[in-house]
Amino acid sequence: MEITLDDLPIRDDLRGQSPYGAPQKKVRVALNVNENTHPIPEDVARDIVESVAAAVLEINRYPDREFTALREALAGYLGHGITAEQIWAANGSNEVIQQILQAFGGPGRSILGFPPTYSMHSIIAKGTGTEWVEGRRDEGFQISPETVRAEIERTKTDIVILCGPNNPTGTPLYLETIEAAYDATPGILLVDEAYAEFMPADQPSALTLLEGRPRLLVSRTMSKAFAFAGARVGYLAANPAVIDALRLVRLPYHLSSLTQAAAVAALRHADEMLAMVDDIKLQRDRIVDTLAELGYQPWPTWSNFVLFGGVDDPHDVFEKLLERGIIVRDLAIPGHLRVSAGTEAETTAFLEALRDIK
């Protein structure tokens, strides 16, 4: 018997919904999901394989539920005096954010976000029964300290989420705004720093504000700068009491022993893994310059991607790029597309195709 989803007794609020996710197409140049497209160094790959192979020999046993070695490695990587007790990790920062909302959000509670921002924030809010409330940004997608304060006072939500640098706009998030938000809310302030490693080197991370701010949570990921998207490792730095709250909602053994082994091995080579970041920033700046030269309007970006306006028919440009084996991101922002910085060759392929289409 052929049945469809609609024939099943699923939750009413899921009826008619589509699963979230960018199209996964086999193309020559994929610049649509902000990955680090540079291949990882061979010696690092070898070390990861050896570590995972050792973990396979114990695969009959459940993994370390507290992923202690990984938390220590992540604390060491972050620096800023952060200790393993302040670290949490999960299968991507998506899962970290989900666990945060499971612990601090939920039915009867609300979260304030500032669109356009990472779509999963509102989707996770919905999935956990947390009310999603939208704040307004200033000119140029910025959020000033005054604006964040006013929006928090207006909406009085239980949680505030800020994304810096912001996806999909690339907009910087300054410490003054984070401090103002923390002081204005009596609740949890989550800063999503998925793209932190692409910020200018002299710009401080929200991690520098953790000391003395127990309601501040900073989420990060190994998926972007660290070239580890396939392994699914996201993490959080926060007060140890916050980590205790996440222990109450996590599924036991949520991080597989293979994931833990792979991530610990990769973190031993953090410098090598991050060696590509400078080149990615270079390619990103090339994209900004060339787009401007072609008459598009690229937004200033602190990330590994560029949002650009001035596209008369984004869907048409998207399709024409796809015909040439290149995929970018077609978003819900009228007249805009988003492209990730690739390797030099991928970036050149994108820019040449765009020139050709123009």
* Binding residues vs ligand PMP (CB under 6 A): 34, 92-94, 118, 163, 167, 192, 194, 221, 223, 229, 234
Given the DSSP bridges, would you call strands 234-237 and 87-90 parallel, antiparallel or unpaired? antiparallel
DSSP string across 263-325 = HHHHHTTHHHHTTHHHHHHHHHHHHHHHHHHTT-EEPP-SSSEEEEE--S-HHHHHHHHHHTT
Which lies closer to ligand PMP via its Cβ, residue 341 or residue 353?
A: 341
Nearer to ligand PMP, 215 or 224 (CB): 224
What does the alpha-carbon distance between residue 262 and residue 266 come to, in Å, rounded to a whole number? 6
C-beta closer to ligand PMP: residue 37 or 221: 221
**What is the per-residue DSSP string for 190-252?**
EEE-TTGGGS-TTSPPGGGG-TT-TTEEEEEESSSTTS-GGG--EEEE--HHHHHHHHTTSPT
We find the least distance from the C-beta atom of residue 223 to ligand PMP, in angstroms, to be 3
Which CB atom, from 113 or from 234, has the smaller least distance to ligand PMP?
A: 234
Provide the minimum distance between the beta carbon of 121 and ligand PMP in the complex, in angstroms, as a whole number.
8
Closest approach of ligand PMP to the CB of residue 12, in Å:
28
| Longest Cα–Cα distance in the chain | 62
Query: C-beta of 170: minimal distance to ligand PMP in Å?
Result: 11
- What is the closest distance, in whole angstroms, from the C-beta atom of residue 61 to ligand PMP in the complex? 26
Please identify, using beta-carbon distances, which residue of 226 and 318 lies nearer to ligand PMP.
Answer: 226
Distant-in-sequence, close-in-space partners of 218: CB < 8 Å, separation ≥ 6: 190, 191, 193, 205, 206, 207, 210, 236, 237, 238
Q: How far is the CB of 1 from ligand PMP (least distance, A)?
A: 37
Number of residue whose CB is nearest ligand PMP: 92
Nearer to ligand PMP, 280 or 353 (CB): 280
